[in-house]
Amino acid sequence: MRCHTILQLRIILAWSLMIVPVVSADLALAEKDESAPAEITGNGDMSTGTDEALPYYQGEGSFYLGFRAVNFDASSRSAEYEDGRSSVAMGIDGLACPLPHRYHMHLEYFGEHNNYADFGYAYKDFLLFRNILVGVHHNLNHYDYLYPGDPPAVVLEDRSPGDENYIDFFKNEFLFRAKAPDFPLHAFAKHRYVEREGILEERFLTGSIGNLIKTSESRDINWESKDLTLGMNSHLGPVEVEYAHNKSIFDPGAGSVLYDYFSSSTVFGRPGDTYPHNVIPETESSGNTLRFHSSYTGQVVASATLSNAENTNNYSGAESDAWKAAMDLRWIPDPVISLFFKYRHREQDKENPEQVTLVGDVNRITYPVRKPVSTRKDLFSLSARYRPLNRVTLVGNYEFENRERSDVDEWIVLPEDSDVHRVRLTAHARPLNTLKLKAVYDYHAYENPSYNTEPDHANKIRLNATYTPAGWITALFDYSLSLTQREDLHYLQSNQLLSPDEGERDGRTDRFLGNLSFVLSPEVSLTASWAYNRLKIEQDLAYALRNTTESGRDSPYYDRGVPYTDESNTFALSLYYLLRKDLTLTADLSYTIAEGEYLPGDVLAGNSSSLGSFSTMETTETIVTVGLARKLMEDWEVGVSFSADIFKDKFSDGTGDHRDGDLYITTFTVKRYF
């Protein structure tokens, strides 16, 4: 990771040394030729050799340098994306267009793992490249399941107590495009490199049935992903054609396999030995895509896409081949009506070895492997947009999706086919010049749902209004309600012949956003908002526990109507105040209340290590940001900003493991405009 950071900084520095002189020279030329006739400030057409004047655009940009002081304590939850280290703060923003050349650069640097850069160059329409660099530090929770008092039924072992778990994320995206002179032919290349480096907490079971050990262990990772796309496109008369080839590789690096001693088990026919587990495999994929589309002008527009993909797991030998087809058709028979047709097809064929060999230090054991499920999906969509009045637009959409699966004999609860019907109705209206309204209704119907989380029926409505009664006030309101219902849930237990289909799952989701923006004067603006989210699910759960109190001893134990609820409220204020022509104040405040609860029935009640104790949440988070900027001279500015994130974990789960944390950041900068 460190070598990539150094390379990243070298690229940024080299690009800075390139663009800053260009902008500076551009500005100097502008000052020198301020009173000159327009024709001598242009640039000749380099492609034709003529003296035809090109438009002149003055370069502009800014540069700032400062220091960012970071301080946080207790849990890293309040500093989820901070590495906790103070650092130099630096930024560059530049745009120069000495035609036919165009340069741009944007950089924000707040530390080795907290930075962003975007820079590019273009020459006429013949040459274009762009590069984006992103660095992020992500703190992860280290979970502690050790309860005080009597030991639980499952033995707990933390091999890395107190470890700080994190991931340092780095991404580089590069785009290059070239065009043939005087002909619509383009060649392009896209490359993406992603690296994740850090320490994860791996949790797994060791021991054997009847003597299980729930184990936690830190794991060093250094994952690399590389993705390359090469392609070309051209206009061939009224049709544009594009072909692209893609190749992707994921390398888990060293430490991709963990090893532990597992005691003998008669259930799995496994002698005691040291075996590999929790493997992170190396994978690779390749694919081809061919696209066609007609001219975007005219009453009829059509497009089609064909693509294939091959994926391989180099550790297990599993393979997946897929091919996709897509077709879109748009017809505008009249200015007030538009018709749309969409078709999507996808086939995925999966294969894996019929058996797998578990290789220990001494023993080798072979197990059979179930045949994977291959799928085929077809989707048809019809849409119409109708504008009966200038202030009213109506949109209707119907979709039908069919999913077919093969080789499902060994997958007891998975249906061979599923159908989904979707209907969406949308209305846009502007009854007044100051009022815009939008209403959306969605209905989904599933036949033979694939998973218990998919409903039989789903209804959703969304209402949106934007109201501007005066030039100094704008109000935005958005509300959505989703209702889902499912009957005959699929349960699987050890005796597959007795796997029942019963139970229900009902869900409701409410979301509301209210926003008021005030322009109190040319110098003052204020925005207030409230966001509310609530999810509630009631589901019948089945436990793999024999119910000995009833006659059906092989039936699972049912916990009926178990509720799960998530709810959050966020209140926010934002202020912009131009105190003087040379002094600007900005301030933001947000306060979030979040609660979550899962309440199982008697089967788990009273157990200190039950799922309910882990699922209950009650937290608050306060974020405050204040900034002050002062212009010293025409092109110089100094600024100071302060931000605080205060996170409070108010629920006690008996472990004493609270996630309270405070984060404070102060940044001083000196900025120069050019």
- Residue 536: closest CA among 599, 587, 473: 599
Distance of CA 404 to the CA centre of its chain: 29
Beta bridge partners of 525: 519, 576
- pLDDT value, residue 432: 95
- pLDDT of 415 strictly over 70: yes
Torsion angle defined by CA atoms of residues 578, 583, 586 and 587, in that order, rounded to the nearest 10 degrees: -110
With vertex at residue 551, the alpha carbon angle to CA 549 and CA 555, rounded to the nearest 5 degrees, is: 85
The CA distances from residue 147 to 29, 151, 159, 199, in Å, are 72, 7, 16, 24
Tokens 């989820």 belong to residue: 80
Q: What stretches of 372-454 adopt beta strand conformation (E)?
A: 374-389, 392-406, 417-432, 435-447
Round the average pLDDT of the chain to a whole number and report it.
86
Beta bridge partners of 208: 211
Q: How much is the average pLDDT of 405-420?
A: 89
The end-to-end CA distance of the chain, in Å, is: 34
Pairing of strands 435-447, 127-140: unpaired
Task: Give the pLDDT band (50/70/90) at residue 239.
Answer: very high
Q: Which helix (H) or strand (E) holds 452?
A: none
With vertex at residue 205, the alpha carbon angle to CA 201 and CA 210, rounded to the nearest 5 degrees, is: 155
Q: How many Cβ atoms are within 10 Å of 431's Cβ, its own excluded?
A: 10
Residue 105 and residue 131: Cα distance in Å, rounded?
10
- pLDDT of 551 strictly over 60: no
Residue 284 and residue 654: Cα distance in Å, rounded?
45
pLDDT per position as a tens digit, 519-543: 999 999 999 999 999 999 999 888 7
- Residue 139: closest CA among 173, 158, 110, 114: 114
Q: DSSP secondary-structure letter at 79?
A: G
Task: Give the pLDDT band (50/70/90) at residue 42.
Answer: very low
Task: Give the pLDDT band (50/70/90) at residue 74.
Answer: low
Phi, psi of 99, rounded to the nearest 5 degrees? -50, 140
Q: What is the percent of the chain where pLDDT is above 90?
A: 65
Residue 26 and residue 43: Cα distance in Å, rounded?
12
Longest Cα–Cα distance of the chain, Å, equals 101
Grouping H, G, I as helix, E, B as strand and the rest as coil, residue 60 is strand
Residue 446 and residue 421: Cα distance in Å, rounded?
7
Q: How much is the average pLDDT of 29-58?
A: 50
Task: Give the pLDDT band (50/70/90) at residue 650.
Answer: confident
Q: Which helix (H) or strand (E) holds 30?
A: helix 2-32
Residue 390 and residue 381: Cα distance in Å, rounded?
26
The answer to whether the beta carbons of residues 593 and 618 sit under 8 Å apart is: no
Q: How many Cβ atoms are within 10 Å of 216's Cβ, its own excluded?
A: 20
Beta bridge partners of 578: 584
Q: How much is the average pLDDT of 628-633?
A: 92
- pLDDT of 187 strictly over 90: yes
Task: Give the pLDDT band (50/70/90) at residue 29.
Answer: very low
The answer to whether the beta carbons of residues 493 and 556 sit under 8 Å apart is: yes
- pLDDT value, residue 547: 47
pLDDT per position as a tens digit, 204-233: 988 777 677 888 999 999 999 999 999 999
Grouping H, G, I as helix, E, B as strand and the rest as coil, residue 418 is strand
Burial tier of 575 (Cβ tally within 10 Å: 0-12, 13-18, 19+): middle
Residue 234 and residue 293: Cα distance in Å, rounded?
11
Residue 643 and residue 89: Cα distance in Å, rounded?
15
Tokens 């054997």 belong to residue: 208
Residue 46 and residue 53: Cα distance in Å, rounded?
11
The answer to whether the beta carbons of residues 440 and 461 sit under 8 Å apart is: yes
- pLDDT value, residue 37: 38
Q: Which amino acid appears at position 420 of this protein?
A: V
Q: How many Cβ atoms are within 10 Å of 10's Cβ, its own excluded?
A: 10
